[in-house]
Structure 1
Amino acid sequence: MDAHHVYSMSTRLIYSLQQRLWEYGGALEMASLVGDPRYSFLVLLPLSFLFSLGTGLRVLWAAAMADWLNLMLKWILKDHRPYWWVPEMGPVELPRLEQFPQTCETGPGSPSGHLMVTAATGYIVVDILCARLRLPRMSGSVFYIKLQKMVWLSFGILLLAVGLSRVYIATHFPHQCFLGLIAGLLVGKVVNSVHMVGWRSYIYLLGSGLILLASFSIFMLQADPLWSEALAIKWCSQRAWVHLDTTPLYTVMRDAGTLAGAGFGINTRASFWGHLATAVFGIITGSLLNQTIAIIPSANKIVFYAVGFVLNALYVYGLVKFWPGLGGMLIGGKKKAR
């Protein structure tokens, strides 16, 4: 079975889903938004520090590695997205697919970044959550086993909803979501097995540097590295739906920036109140970061990507250094004064 036949069959499946699930379109678009990789960085990451420093660091590395490896696979596989593949086929008899505000992503299609990053980071959080739910004398009990199964089942339903939503909005073919899911779970399992507390700053900075070096090397070696961006602009029904923060180069800046920020600010002595401050103020600053990226002028792409790197680095620096220190100082200081 050749690629054209797979794409054709998948296109008809997507069209059928759009026809049958139209009344649930709003919920599916919300599921796609929940699975956006940016929210693994901006919401799940600060919340994960509530469990422990180690959990937060593993989620940080899982998000950065899954996001970056996803990009590397996309550049290697050079797979298409449904919303541009169908019109590129010209007069071939294929159904016309509807587009949505989240449809017009600019990178190659496979594997799905939404599934890969969500699966990687979610696996770590669900695993630690199940461990924390295990109370003394409860391990092995029927209640705990059922509770654990419910947590994992909920995670599975979330991943299924994200995958279905990505297919529904015509930004991925089904096989791309499946590949992203498997790759993400593998990344999550590997990262979750590594003890990262105590890692020196140079490891984070080295990781950031390697991401930049490897990414730009592969970028320069490609004959036409911006081919997918050109197709997105050409076939997206609304030019306003094409955003620079979905481009491959912004992904590189986000991943390298987050590791650089952690490297400059890594702090292994945060208290509970410090982690609480990280969760609260991290989500607030993450929201501000998201809004700031959206209003940065995109006329000069070099400036856009450079600012993206700096803002993501500052955001993570706040998570690992500034907010834990501030929370511990303010609340810890009040307790001592009493």
Structure 2
Amino acid sequence: MDSLHTTGIRFAEVLQAGPPWLEKFWISVTSLADPKCVFTVCFPLAYFLDRKVGVSVLWIGLVSEWLNVVLKWFLFGERPFWWVHESGLTRKQLVVLRQFPVSCETGPGSPSGHCMITGAALWPLVTALMALASRHSRSLVVKMSPFGAYVLLLLAVGLSRIFVLAHFPHQVVGGILTGAVLGWRLQGCTPANRTLGFFVATGLALLLSSLISPPTSNSPLSSPRRRSIRLATKWCSNPSWLRLDTRPFASISRDTGSALGLGLAASFSLPRGGHLDPWQRLASALLALVAIQVLHWFLQPTDVTLWYGTNFFKYAIGPWLVTFLLPQLVLSLTPPRRSPHIN
């Protein structure tokens, strides 16, 4: 593995030695492809394009993120920003690398969550756009353009993760392939007509699974979590870059909250005749994006336990805002559509 890791470090050096303007591009890509954007950006946009697709994006996003956490517990995986020091490579060879505010992730590194979760969650959106393109054009290029954009996006995300020293190339490749397969396999398994009880049970199952190896235990699964936090803290060049939302339990609280949020969404429905026209969908989508960003920006406690609880609440309330409250608000603020007059 050392030779594979060393090759990855050299590849990261080549990327970081590129044109200066690319630095902002890679950091922007890795920030926009953060798994939480699946829940706060992709889900609202997909939902107001097509309700079934939106629910599928959120469901696949939370399931794939949970699976990513489980895989990281078992596979562990070093991260370049700490391995380059722990391995002693910097003492043996000249290594010219920089860290960035998005480098210091505190969980294990294999497979890449950015690639795996984004690749899985966007699959139903890509297939929906391909079906839409097929209905409006016979050109193979037009039909395949959403898939081409999907591939280019995942390639850019993977390169950005290598650039910021968050992942090695083999972790990125593993994340992309796993994410695409998950998206393909889970697309037909979206629980579209399930009740609140189903989603509550799902959330509890996700939460209990994370408590199999609490940090205080001596089980094999708890050691990688403790070690990854210790190494990230030790080798991050700026302590302020260490963020709670990169820890594995932050992902679990997000997934558990989102599962409950889907249950709340299933328990509420717009009044009869509450169909949204295209302009109302656009207004609802914009409102949802703003409301969710404000919600996540406003609630930022410093206490760790309170932070996890607040994180759970924010992701639980998000789907309800998107699927019921904000569309209901838009319907109440816009005049009812008049039926055509019949003589």
Matched letter for residue 295 of structure 2: L
Picking from 245, 260, 272, the partner of 2:276 is 272
Q: Distance in 2 between matches of 1:256 and 1:231?
A: 27
Counterpart position of 2:263: 263
Provide the TM-score with structure 2 as the length reference.
Answer: 0.89
- CA contact 1:281–1:323 (8 Å) conserved in 2: yes
Counterpart position of 1:316: 319
Counterpart position of 1:285: 291
- CA contact 2:213–2:222 (8 Å) conserved in 1: no
Counterpart position of 2:71: 73
Q: Distance in 2 between matches of 1:22 and 1:107?
A: 29
Q: Distance in 1 between matches of 2:222 and 2:34?
A: 29
Counterpart position of 1:296: 301
* Partner SS for 1:193: helix
Deviation, 1:191, is 2.1
* Structure 2: runs of 5+ lacking an equivalent: none
Matched letter for residue 301 of structure 2: I
Picking from 153, 169, 173, the partner of 1:174 is 169
Deviation, 1:201, is 1.6
Q: 1:62 to 1:94 in 2, by over 3 A?
A: farther
Matched letter for residue 27 of structure 1: F
- CA contact 1:62–1:121 (8 Å) conserved in 2: yes
Deviation, 1:324, is 2.8
Q: Distance in 2 between matches of 1:94 and 1:35?
A: 31
Counterpart position of 1:102: 102
Matched letter for residue 100 of structure 2: F
Q: Distance in 2 between matches of 1:61 and 1:250?
A: 17
Counterpart position of 1:227: 227
- CA contact 1:49–1:278 (8 Å) conserved in 2: no
1:335 aligns with 2:337: yes
Counterpart position of 1:130: 130
* Partner SS for 2:103: coil
Q: Distance in 2 between matches of 1:325 and 1:238?
A: 45
Counterpart position of 1:197: 192
Matched letter for residue 292 of structure 1: F
1:41 aligns with 2:39: yes
The alignment of Structure 1 onto Structure 2 pairs a total of residues equal to 327
Q: Per-residue CA shift, 1:27-60, capped at 9, x if unaligned?
A: 1111111211111111110001122221111011
Picking from 149, 158, 174, the partner of 1:163 is 158
Matched letter for residue 156 of structure 1: V
Q: 1:307 to 1:264 in 2, by over 3 A?
A: same
Q: Per-residue CA shift, 1:93-150, capped at 9, x if unaligned?
A: 36142101111111100111110111112211111011122336x4xx3x2x210222
Picking from 17, 36, 40, the partner of 1:19 is 17
Q: Distance in 2 between matches of 1:321 and 1:210?
A: 26
- CA contact 1:204–1:259 (8 Å) conserved in 2: yes
Matched letter for residue 36 of structure 1: D
Deviation, 1:290, is 3.3
- CA contact 1:74–1:111 (8 Å) conserved in 2: yes
Q: Distance in 1 between matches of 2:81 and 2:245?
A: 19
1:63 aligns with 2:67: no
- CA contact 1:277–1:323 (8 Å) conserved in 2: no
Q: Distance in 2 between matches of 1:320 and 1:10?
A: 43
Matched letter for residue 35 of structure 1: A
* Structure 1: runs of 5+ lacking an equivalent: none
Matched letter for residue 253 of structure 1: S
Q: What RMSD in Å do the two structures reach over aligned CA positions? A: 2.1
Counterpart position of 1:32: 30
Q: Distance in 1 between matches of 2:245 and 2:222?
A: 23
